[in-house]
Structure 1
Amino acid sequence: MTTPLERLTRLAPPADRPGPTDWADAESRLGHPLPGDYKELVDAYGPGEFDGHVRLRAPEGPNGGRGLIAMNDGYFEELEDIWEMNEEAPEEIEEEGTTLVVWARTKDAETLNWLVRPGTSPDEWPVMVLNDDLTEWETYPVTATEFLAGLLAGDIDSAMLSSELTPPDHTFEPRQG
């Protein structure tokens, strides 16, 4: 059986393997454990862009770039403030202790997040895509790697992302930060 990472690497081959990530340090600094598939994804690809559109973030942005840890510093609190002003927030975040952790961003400012619910294992966190002004969202009950592979293969049809990821040959370009 093909794993989601094997499927993704066939669809968009990674470039050179990045250096090792200190996952214990990253999780400690983030304040959350991270899903196993994300660790494998970053270990295989490092930070970079799929089809010049979806930018995968590694925990640390090289040379001071905006990595996963920096991007999540105060991120959910900002979202809550915006949703409170607009009086519209996803139902999925209403449970006490629920938060979002951003792990990728698009060139159009959509974010790909994990929906983190209390008592849920990181490997069970669904993906939530938010549009740039936070008025639309989509939730997918899959891992980050399953989401990317499904998106590139055309199995996942995202109203916000699919139109940007349609070439027959997909690419991954390493990027700093």
Structure 2
Amino acid sequence: MVSSVLDRLKSVLPPPEVSLDPVDWAAVEQALGLRLPSYYKEFMDTYGGGTIEDFLIIYRFADNIEGTLEIWRSEMRRVRYFWDEVPEWATLEEGRENILPWANTIDDDVCYLLMEPREDPEQWCVVSRDEDMEWSVFEGSMVEFLVEVVSGRRREPWMPRDFPGDSPWFKTTAQYLADTDPG
């Protein structure tokens, strides 16, 4: 099932034409202290971390585990600061958090995996929030969310009117950095 959803994503968002380093997913999951959904791993094995139209930045946890853990901790600190604006379904207690950030926008909006039930990552859905802590829920996987967003069938309040464009594109983090490096 994952492959068919990923195939739909590939039809609306061509993957990069670069080879990606293989990932030791067992080591990544051990470092994070949780199992990751197969759809996340398959997406990363196909696209890698990067950006959709230089707006939505998708994290590849495998590239920098310590950096990933720091992003997670930092985001949880920020969300805890606004605890009174966080939906009741979000668990923010340190060590028991049930939201895992997997993407952010250049405007500081964040997409998370809602890790419920924690023991079954294939059931995790997507939640997102804008910079003002307005939350929304998408009852589907990260890849299904991307298919809906990139195809234009789903709009989040935090999306600019011109996102996505008529011909959506993806760049790996390395491609993005090469394009933006002034030297």
One-letter code of the match for 1:130? R
Question: Could you tell me which residue of structure 2 aligns to residue 40 of structure 1?
Answer: 42
For structure 2, the residue ranges without an aligned partner over 5 or more in a row are 178-183
Question: Could you tell me which residue of structure 2 aligns to residue 145 of structure 1?
Answer: 143
> TM-score by structure 2 length?
0.82
Question: Could you tell me which residue of structure 2 aligns to residue 25 of structure 1?
Answer: 27
Question: Could you tell me which residue of structure 1 aligns to residue 86 of structure 2?
Answer: 89
Question: Could you tell me which residue of structure 1 aligns to residue 107 of structure 2?
Answer: 108
> TM-score by structure 1 length?
0.84
User: What are the Cα deviations for residues 15-66 of structure 1, in whole angstroms up to 9, with x where unaligned?
Assistant: 113111111111111111111100000000111111111111101336x994
Q: 1:95 to 1:46 in 2, by over 3 A?
A: closer
Asked whether the equivalents of residues 76 and 92 of structure 2 are also in contact (C-alpha less than 8 Å), the reply is no
The percentage of aligned residue pairs carrying the same residue is 25
Asked whether the equivalents of residues 59 and 102 of structure 2 are also in contact (C-alpha less than 8 Å), the reply is yes
Structural RMSD (CA): 2.6
Q: 1:169 to 1:20 in 2, by over 3 A?
A: same
CA distance in structure 2 between the partners assigned to 1:165 and 1:51 by the alignment:
8
Question: Could you tell me which residue of structure 2 aligns to residue 13 of structure 1?
Answer: 14
CA distance in structure 2 between the partners assigned to 1:131 and 1:79 by the alignment:
11
Tell me the secondary structure at the aligned position of residue 145 of structure 1.
Answer: helix
User: What are the Cα deviations for residues 90-148 of structure 1, in whole angstroms up to 9, with x where unaligned?
Assistant: 12215985521001111111111011234551111110111124x20111011000001
For structure 1, the residue ranges without an aligned partner over 5 or more in a row are none
Q: CA deviation at 1:71?
A: 1.7
Q: Using CA pairs under 8 Å that are at least 6 residues apart, name the structure with larger relative contact order, 1 or 2.
A: 1
Tell me the secondary structure at the aligned position of residue 3 of structure 1.
Answer: helix
CA distance in structure 2 between the partners assigned to 1:28 and 1:170 by the alignment:
34
Question: Could you tell me which residue of structure 1 aligns to residue 75 of structure 2?
Answer: 75
- Number of matched pairs: 171
